[in-house]
Structure 1
């Protein structure tokens, strides 16, 4: 297996490949009750993410998207992390794809003067929660999220990270 991967900015032309990665992870692997109709952002990456200063990045392997991370720019120099997924066969510290995706997003935030990152997740996603906490994200109460944070209906745990 190739061990060097390129992270690139994704666009609407990548929507079907993004959906092919994300939906099975959500629905089959983690039994999260979410459908494509609950996620219209996946059908219009450019309007939901790029338009207001955010972004949507992916890792490709043999023309397949095997990892993603997205950023929605929100008020007050904030950003909401969304769509952080890595295909099961490519997870783990050996390749470090999740870490590289997060670092790419933080690097981008620094260029856009985004100083505070927020995210929501689902409490059964134990590995994701450990990953965020290991990277310095601190759990916060839902009521402490910025008013401009776009809460997903299935999310029940929320995190904040201060970019220095």
Structure 2
């Protein structure tokens, strides 16, 4: 199975919503709705037009993973919407790693020096993944002032790109 990772826009919103809400609500019981995430319906304006990007991972034409970069400051970005369908997770396919590597390469090409992310503590495997990729947990009050905090997030991480 070959994974193809490409930037996607609003024409994939329905597939993105289906993938992400299923993981958030059904798999992890995170109390979040589509109304809490209007960016999923406005991918182009929320991500691309502000200097960030939204990528989809596809296998045989099926959307199996996503990751997004919100560029909220000249040299800083927030990682959002990192999700991989359950049956496509793991070290065999490396989809999450490929998605993160794509975002990091884009960030470096676009002179972003620091990446931040917020997540929820229940996503323990995701936290271990970020730690393996040199992200460091930080307190919420250590986040940059402009960082776009999501209401459900209770764990925050930082990666200095010049160190990798």
Q: Which of 78, 83, 86 does residue 84 from structure 2 map onto?
A: 86
Matched residue of 2:130: which SS? helix
Q: Deviations over 1:97-134 (max 9, x none)?
A: 00000000000001100010000000010000000001
* 1:7 alignment counterpart: 5
Q: Which runs of 5+ in 1 are unaligned?
A: none
Can you give the 5+ residue segments of structure 2 that lack an aligned partner in the other structure? none
Q: Is 1:27 aligned to 2:8, yes or no? A: no
Give 4+ residue runs of structure 1 displaced > 6 Å after superposition: none
Q: Does residue 51 of the first structure (1) align with residue 44 of the second (2)?
A: no
Q: CA deviation at 1:59?
A: 0.8
For residues 107-126 of structure 1, the aligned pairs below 5 Å read 107-126=105-124
Q: TM-score, normalised by structure 2?
A: 0.97
What is the aligned length? 162
Match of 1:129 among 107, 110, 127: 127
1:163 is matched with: 161
Q: CA deviation at 1:61?
A: 2.1
**3-state SS of the aligned residue for 1:114?**
coil
- How much has 1:78 moved relative to structure 2? 0.2
In the other structure, the counterpart of 1:147 is 145
**Structure 1, residues 49-94: CA drift from partner, whole Å, max 9, x if none?**
0011000001112332100000000224000000000000000001
What is the RMSD computed on CA atoms of the aligned residues? 0.7
TM-score between the two structures when normalised by the length of structure 1 = 0.97
